[in-house]
Amino acid sequence: MTTKERVAWINGKTVPESQATISINDVGFLYGDAVFDTTRTFNKRIFKLKEHLDRFYDSLKYMRIDPGMTKDEMAKVTMDILNANIPLLGPNDDYWVSQRVSRGVRGTGQALKATVVIECHPLPLKERAKSFRDGLQVIIPSVRRTPPESMSPRAKVHNYINMIQGDLEVKSQNPDALAILLDMNGNIAEGLGSNFFIVKDGVLVTPRDQFVLGGISRETAIELAHELNLEVVKQDIDLFDAYTADEAFVTSTSYCICPVSTFNGMKIGSGKTGPVTDRLQKAYSGLVNMDFVAQYQAHL
């Protein structure tokens, strides 16, 4: 199907995006009472859909939301919507592909029934291309990452206010900066949509599972590191560790692996993509059969 407008799936119907509308009484809109997950395509092919749907259903379980669909049904509709939207992609572009489920619409006099949306959105390749040339400038904001005692960061829920606050704070100092938040103990946690790694003496270190979202790209980076015979440890990273790291990078579905050049204004290593980060980027590109760094840089 070729259409001028992308389509989305909402509560059982495939409609043009402009007609995929949510009620003002949807509790996802009212309270952020919703869950989502997002994967991406590489050269139009979806990546690790199963892993993303496994995490999605764990987030739904944590939130006690029943999507009213099996994982297999969710996977099939996801592929149908993606396939319908592929013809609208430019030659060097790819999609974010998301499933979103809210607890439902209040005030109908009936029990809440989940609102389910599946949609595609072009990746912000142009916007982020610079980070692959220059590295990311990470700044730590004063606001701390929501602790597991308040809400588990391991669930991917529709409430990003904590990280948005952090990002607004650092962007007011430097519009190009990326916020990475500390946890309540003063160790590095994560940012608005990305996990964090340092490399010291050839060993990769990333924060412990309890304090961050279990990023699919984080797990992918760990698997690739093991294939390259690199040691990986999950442990607390404090500011001293970060300032004195040989290399640092973030992982996310869209960034895959993106180098960090400065941390609170201090240069990390040489300030350029470090040798371990470079090896991991190449291994990631090999795994997805596409040079994702070149794809970003082509948008410069």
- Answer for the pair 259, 273: CB distance below 8 angstroms, yes or no: yes
Tokens of 22: 């949510």
- Please give the biggest Cα pair distance in the chain: 62
For ligand PMP, the binding residue among 216, 258, 290, 293 (CB under 6 A) is: 216
Q: CB-wise, 116 or 212, nearer to ligand PMP?
A: 212
The 3-state secondary structure of 200-259, one letter per residue: ECCEEEECCHHHCCCCHHHHHHHHHHHHCCCCEEECCCCHHHHHCCCEEEEEECCCEEEE
**Which residue bears the tokens 């669930």?**
155
- Comparing CB distances to ligand PMP, the nearer of 84 and 237 is 237
Q: Which residues contact 218 (CB under 8 A, 6 or more apart)?
A: 195, 197, 206, 212, 251
Closer to ligand PMP at the Cβ: 7 or 256? 256
Nearer to ligand PMP, 38 or 262 (CB): 38
Our finding on whether 20 is near ligand PMP (CB under 6 A) is: no
User: Can residue 215 be called a binding residue for ligand PMP (CB under 6 A)?
Assistant: yes
Is residue 217 at the binding interface for ligand PMP, with CB under 6 A as the rule?
A: yes
First-residue to last-residue Cα distance in the chain: 31
HSE-CB of 36 using CA atoms within 13 angstroms: 18
User: Can residue 162 be called a binding residue for ligand PMP (CB under 6 A)?
Assistant: no
Beta carbons of 59 and 159 less than 8 angstroms apart:
no
Q: Which of 186, 189, 187, 194 is nearest to 145 (CA)?
A: 189
**Residue with nearest beta carbon to ligand PMP:** 215
| 259 lines the binding site for ligand PMP (CB under 6 A) | no
Q: Does 190 bind ligand PMP (CB under 6 A)?
A: yes
Stretch of 81-89, 116-124, 134-142, 215-223 contacting ligand PMP, by CB under 6 A: 215-223
- Whichever of 104 and 193 has its CB closer to ligand PMP, that residue is 193
The count of residues interacting with ligand PMP (CB under 6 A) is 14
**Residues 223-252 interacting with ligand PMP (rule: CB under 6 A):** 251-252
Q: Is 194 in the site for ligand PMP (CB under 6 A)?
A: yes
Among 213, 222, 283, 290, binds ligand PMP (CB under 6 A): 213
Given candidates 28, 166, 193, 207, which one binds ligand PMP under the rule CB under 6 A? 193
Asked if 237 and 205 touch (Cβ cutoff 8 Å), the reply is: yes
CB 290 within 8 A of CB 43: yes
Residue 207 binds to ligand PMP (criterion: CB under 6 A): no
Closest distance of CB 198 from ligand PMP, Å? 16
Which residues of this chain interact with ligand PMP, rule CB under 6 A?
A: 38, 156, 190, 193-195, 213, 215-218, 251-253
